[in-house]
Amino acid sequence: MADQSKNTNTPGIFELNNGSMQVKISNFGATITSLSVPDNNGKLADVVLGFDSVDPYVNGLAPYFGCIVGRVANRIKEGKFSLNGVDYTLPINNGPNSLHGGNNGFDKKTWEVAGHKKDGDKPFITFKYHSADGEEGYPGAVTVTATYTLTSATTMRLDMEAVPENKDTPISLAQHTYWNLSGHDSGNILDHRIQIWGSHITPVDQHSVPTGELLPVKGTPFDFTEEKRIGDRIGEVGIGYDHNYVLDCADQEKDGLKHAAKLRDGESSRVMDLWTDAPGVQFYTGNYVDGVVGKGNAVYGKHSGVCLETQGFPNAINQKSFPCVVVKAGEKYKHTMLFEFSA
């Protein structure tokens, strides 16, 4: 029986468990705080970076661990854009840019729990958030929902939807979990192997904002069109990977979603396949994580986790050649991710 709507503004942590995988998710930021899946010997490990309680998230100690970011994920150049003849200014919180929705984006809000079925067949939890007109400088009120569902023994699906009520507005949500398939407390992810179904990246300027070009990855350190070790050429890209890949070479679909990436840990033999309907994925290697004390007093350092944030392209609101992120009033934004684990 579904544990129906809790109209609570109290941040908490809720569980989904289907007997094979166990996921803990907070209504603060719609945040995955723990996700445990088996290795090839059936041994469970928690493969996401995070904290044991909700307090560190609420107190701002998490560098976007596990949350949903919005209203617009990634960077908007100089925190400015124009829409329908009106100029908008957003909070500057990342160098000269506005990042992940501003100072108090969706990751820092307590969402309503609109439905929850903890276990049994297809456990799920649905979160709902109402973003007011003018919140963090964005136009129009928006109603947002995010539903996490354990669709099979070791598969989790995330469905994000948003409807602008009265004004057109940019919307681009992203799920910002840091993955470490060896276990959250096992050190860095440089020995993980990854394949990304993208033959181009959107190269960036000195402030990590896309220039508007599309750069072929062939022959560069960004080429993961075939599976490679993350650490092989990471030293050639500055402090690490933090780039948007154009998902332009998917060769298969699942549930109407295209293959975005495959992440593999040789030690545990855990594999995560990621599927999405978004046009891009931010491949980020935790370059700025520095001595964060997380679950069980594990200390997370640089490259302790890898993020695979499917998304609209960064700064798309200011780049007419990029896929449009403007959603018209009354229309529906949809973004689905499928996380498929195996060993």
Q: Tokens 């109290």 sit at which residue?
A: 10
Sign of CA dihedral 315, 317, 158, 111: positive
Binding-site residues for beta-D-galactose, in ranges, read 74-75, 176-178, 242
Binding-site residues, in ranges, read 74-75, 176-178, 242
Q: For 239, which DSSP code?
A: T
> Alpha-carbon dihedral of residues 76, 174, 260, 23, nearest 10 degrees?
160
Q: Tokens 């995988």 sit at which residue?
A: 21
Using CA atoms, how far apart are residues 275 and 165, in angstroms rounded to an integer?
Answer: 29
176 an active-site residue? yes
3-state secondary structure of 302: coil
Using CA atoms, how far apart are residues 246 and 68, in angstroms rounded to an integer?
Answer: 21
Q: Which of 176, 184, 200, 335 is catalytic?
A: 176
Buried-state track 27-52, b at ≥16 Cβ within 10 A, e below 16: bbbbbbbbbbbbbeeeeebbbbbbbe
Active-site positions read 176, 309
